[in-house]
Amino acid sequence: MPDNNEPAVRYFALIDDERGWPEGWRARRITGLVRRTDTQPLPTDEALGRDFTWGPTEYLQRYRRGIDEPHEEISAESAERFIASWRASRASSEAERTRPASNPPVDDAQA
């Protein structure tokens, strides 16, 4: 909980509800994070970028219920877990891309 000098920060998960699964099943995927800091005179909204830095956004101000993808408020701890998971996934993908290709097997009959 913030002390008296720190403005409150709220986190929101952007959700992609994928429809079309058999028998009415839906897959919920968290596709982004937005945070709102209760600054004065207006709150400050920021979205987490692909480089894992927070930058200005107008998403929460412009959100149109029923038209835009939904979002829901989450805890700071949940936001940190998502960020850590995305960082790990990114690191794994980058390691896979930079791994040298293995040499093809040598057929002794061709030698």
Q: Please work out, in degrees rounded to the nearest 5, the angle formed at the alpha carbon of residue 83 by the alpha carbons of 26 and 56.
A: 95
| % of the chain at pLDDT higher than 70 | 69
pLDDT of residue 23: 58
Banded model confidence at residue 33, pLDDT cuts 50, 70, 90: very high
Supply the pTM of this predicted model: 0.69
Q: What residues have CB less than 8 Å from 91, skipping those under 6 apart?
A: none
- Mean pLDDT is highest, among 16-25, 32-41, 98-107, for 32-41
Residue 13 CA to residue 50 CA, distance in Å, equals 15
- In the chain, the largest separation of any two C-alpha atoms, in whole Å, equals 78
Structure tokens at 21: 């699964």
